[in-house]
Amino acid sequence: MAAPLSRAEKALRTRRRMLDAAARLFAAHGWARTTVEDIARTAEVGVQTVYFTFGNKRALLKELLDTAVAGDFDPVATLDRPWAREVLEAPDPAGQLALQAAGARRVLERAAPVLEVVRAAAGSDPEIAALWRANHEQRHTVQLRFAEALVAKAGGALRGGHDAGSAADVAMTVLGPETYGLLVAGRGWTAGRWERWAADALVRQLLP
């Protein structure tokens, strides 16, 4: 017989259920048309449970985004996660770019729908606009660190005179949720096809 769940385990399961419900509703109906009441009903909890757990709908969205990007509830920065360390430690430039594309695919398969909700809501909600800007800055920080490692592995010479800053800009564009959403959600590409294209595009744009 399985051991009974602890109070903390029950609370975590309920939290996940509310986040999953919010993700489905935001994707189906958008930010503005989804209410806390809708989330509570779908998650089969009381409205006050949602407020007690998250505080408000914006805080729920922020946690939903954070957990979708990370893939878990662990408070570990992206650059400290195993996949990012693998990127930084890759022995050659082309291998690094392939790992960047693979890592981006895994993140975007989870997070692209949530990122689209945040992007769409940012135009009408200043607090969500700040959340979108913060996410953009975080992505840039990660890509800049990857680009610095790439420059070092390439002996300081990238294609077209790119330095770490502009290489990060290229990676932000190729690996961003906007490009992923256009090709995968908009044009019907598989995530695997997108990953292969992204890795090839980065090599063609950045390596001599």
Judged by DSSP in three states, 190 sits in coil
Per-residue CA distances from 31 to 54, 126, 145, 182, 200 (Å):
16, 13, 32, 20, 35
* pLDDT digit string (tens) for the chain, length 208 residues: 566 778 888 889 999 999 999 999 999 999 999 999 999 999 999 999 999 999 999 999 999 999 999 999 998 999 999 999 999 999 999 999 999 999 999 999 999 999 999 999 999 999 999 999 999 999 999 999 999 999 999 999 999 999 999 999 999 999 999 999 999 999 999 999 999 999 999 999 999 9
Q: Which residue type occupies 192?
A: G
The topology under which CATH files domain 9-55 is: Arc Repressor Mutant, subunit A (1.10.10)
Q: What pLDDT does 1 receive? A: 59
Distance (Å, rounded) from C-alpha 92 to C-alpha 189? 28
Q: Model pTM? A: 0.91
Q: Where do the CATH 1.10.357 domains begin and end in the chain?
A: 74-206
Model pLDDT, residue 158: 96
CA separation, residue 194 to residues 98, 179, 183 (Å): 12, 9, 7
Task: Check the CA dihedral 69-74-80-85 and report its sign.
Answer: negative
CATH among 1.10.3470, 2.30.30, 1.20.1440, 1.10.357 for 74-206: 1.10.357
d(CA 116, CA 128): 12
Question: Quick one: pLDDT at residue 110?
Answer: 95
> Which residue intervals of the chain bear CATH 1.10.10.60?
9-55
Q: Among 17, 16, 36, 13, which Cα is nearest to 26's? A: 36
DSSP H or E run through 48: helix 47-54
CA–CA distance, 170 with 135 (Å, rounded to integer): 17
Query: What's the sign of the alpha-carbon dihedral 208, 170, 78, 18?
Result: negative
Planar angle of CA 28, 120, 100, nearest 5 degrees = 95
Residue 5: predicted pLDDT? 73
Q: Take residue 46 and report the two structure tokens written for it.
A: 């009381």
Number of other residues whose CB lies within 10 A of the CB of residue 84: 19
Give the pLDDT score at 192: 98
103 vs 81: CA distance, rounded Å: 11
CB 151 within 8 A of CB 96: no
Q: What is the pLDDT of residue 106?
A: 97
